[in-house]
């Protein structure tokens, strides 16, 4: 049995296999074919933070695969009032077939996984957002921009950045990260990514100069400046991130025809201008839709590993 906590535990081949299953499922869906590959299975979804895409994609995906999904907000289950993680894990995993968790500290899902009898899927922690990167890479494959990619990530050194680092390190592409001073990526994640990158040949670099990172990039991406849990810092961050908005002048430094990706939700005129987001809306909303297909691929893959 395997869990999906970060991309660190997966080989390049496994990541591509999961995305391949997702693309097959997407093709089937377009043709009106629904294969009940997870018939009678239940996915428990524990949300300690808000969500639009993650909830809708997992719940719809499980239904389309012939299963059922349970939405469990921490306001409603005893976990939110202090029932231990290890007890919650043993109870839920005795009744359900998979568990997706969106939470704050990454150690929470590690503890949950340690006590679980069924696969645990990370639906975002403060440190990583690996299911989003499955959808992002699926989108890169569909648009034919996965080979020789030079990805520029402009913004906060956060859970999305960390997952981009691990993906680049595993798959062997170039990732340039530009953050303001004081908002750099976690040094321990960087050390791990560089260690993995040695095997794949990936190039991962960091700078405080967004223009340097974006010059000649084939893909430009960003994320909110204030992640969930950082609401109190929002105004200060808007000040500190001046010069980091991905706007038309920033995009003009990238390669001609460079693609723009965003995990969403997007904050217009903060990390991205209205014109860049709307100018690249086709790919960005396909990226969002790919959450559904990529995660169906992931759930089918995890089920096959038991």
CA 124/CA 5 separation, integer angstroms: 9
Site string for ligand NVA, 189-208 (x = CB under 6 A): --------------------
Name residues contacting ligand CP, limited to 97-136 (CB under 6 A): 124, 132
Which of 2, 20, 35, 51 is close enough to bind ligand CP by CB under 6 A?
A: 51
Is 291 noted as a catalytic residue in this protein?
yes
Measured over the CA atoms of residue 232, residue 124, residue 179 and residue 259, the dihedral's sign is negative
Between 205 and 281, CB nearer to ligand CP:
281
C-beta atoms surrounding 209 within 10 Å:
11
Site string for ligand NVA, 154-183 (x = CB under 6 A): ----xxx-----------------------
Among 53, 106, 129, 162, the one annotated catalytic: 129
* Burial (Cβ within 10 Å: 0-12, 13-18, ≥19) of residue 239: exposed
228 Cβ neighbours under 8 A, 6+ residues apart? 49, 50, 124
Which of 172, 264, 286, 289 is close enough to bind ligand CP by CB under 6 A?
A: 264
| Residue 103 · residue 125 · CB < 8 Å | yes
Does the protein bind ligand CP through residue 52 (CB under 6 A)? yes
In a 13 Å sphere around the CA of 41, the CA atoms on its Cβ side amount to: 25
Contacts for 28-33: CB closer than 8 Å, 24+ residues apart: 29/64, 29/293
52 binds, options ligand CP, ligand NVA, none, Cβ within 5 to 8 A by partner type: ligand CP
DSSP assignment string, 171-219 = HT-EEEEE--TT-PPPHHHHHHHHHHHHHHT-EEEEES-HHHHHTT-SE
227 binds, options ligand NVA, ligand CP, none, Cβ within 5 to 8 A by partner type: ligand NVA
| Residue 100 · residue 58 · CB < 8 Å | yes
Which of 43, 133, 140, 263 is close enough to bind ligand CP by CB under 6 A?
A: 263
Between 196 and 294, CB nearer to ligand CP:
294
Among 126, 156, 223, 303, the one annotated catalytic: 223
Does the protein bind ligand CP through residue 293 (CB under 6 A)? no
Which of 41, 54, 270, 295 is close enough to bind ligand CP by CB under 6 A?
A: 54
Does the protein bind ligand CP through residue 94 (CB under 6 A)? no
DSSP code for 286:
H
Q: Which residues bind ligand CP (CB under 6 A)?
A: 51-54, 124, 132, 263-264
The residues annotated as belonging to the active site are 102, 129, 132, 223, 263, 291
Give contact residues for ligand NVA (rule: CB under 6 A).
124, 129, 158-160, 223-224, 227-228, 263
């Amino acid at each position: 049995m395997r869990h999906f906590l970060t991309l660190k535990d997966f080989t390049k081949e496994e990541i591509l296999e999961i995305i391949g299953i997702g693309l097959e499922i997407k093709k089937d869906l377009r043709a009106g074919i629904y294969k009940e590959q997870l018939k009678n299975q239940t996915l428990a979804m524990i949300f300690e933070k808000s969500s639009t895409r993650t909830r809708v994609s997992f719940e719809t995906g499980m239904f389309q695969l012939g299963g059922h999904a349970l939405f469990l907000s921490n306001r409603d289950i005893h976990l939110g009032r202090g029932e231990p993680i290890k007890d919650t894990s043993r109870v839920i995993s005795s009744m359900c077939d998979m568990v997706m968790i969106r939470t704050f500290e990454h150690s929470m899902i590690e503890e949950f996984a340690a006590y679980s009898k069924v696969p645990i899927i990370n639906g975002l922690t403060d440190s990583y957002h690996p299911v989003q990167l499955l959808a992002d890479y699926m989108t890169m494959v569909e648009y034919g921009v996965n080979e020789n990619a030079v990805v520029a990530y402009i913004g906060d050194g956060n859970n999305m950045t960390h997952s981009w680092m691990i993906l680049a390190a595993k798959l062997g592409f170039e990732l340039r990260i530009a953050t303001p001073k004081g908002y750099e990526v976690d040094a321990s994640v960087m050390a791990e990514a560089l260690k993995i990158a040695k095997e794949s040949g990936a190039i991962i670099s960091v700078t405080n100069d967004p223009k340097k990172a974006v010059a000649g990039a084939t893909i430009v991406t960003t994320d909110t400046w204030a992640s969930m849990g950082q609401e109190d810092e929002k105004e200060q961050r808007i000040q500190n991130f001046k010069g980091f908005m991905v706007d038309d002048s920033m995009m003009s430094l990238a390669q001609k025809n460079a693609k723009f990706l965003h995990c969403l939700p997007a904050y217009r005129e903060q990390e991205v201008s209205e014109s860049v987001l709307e100018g690249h809306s086709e790919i960005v909303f396909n990226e969002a839709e790919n959450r559904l297909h990529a995660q169906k691929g992931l759930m089918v893959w995890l089920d096959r590993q038991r």
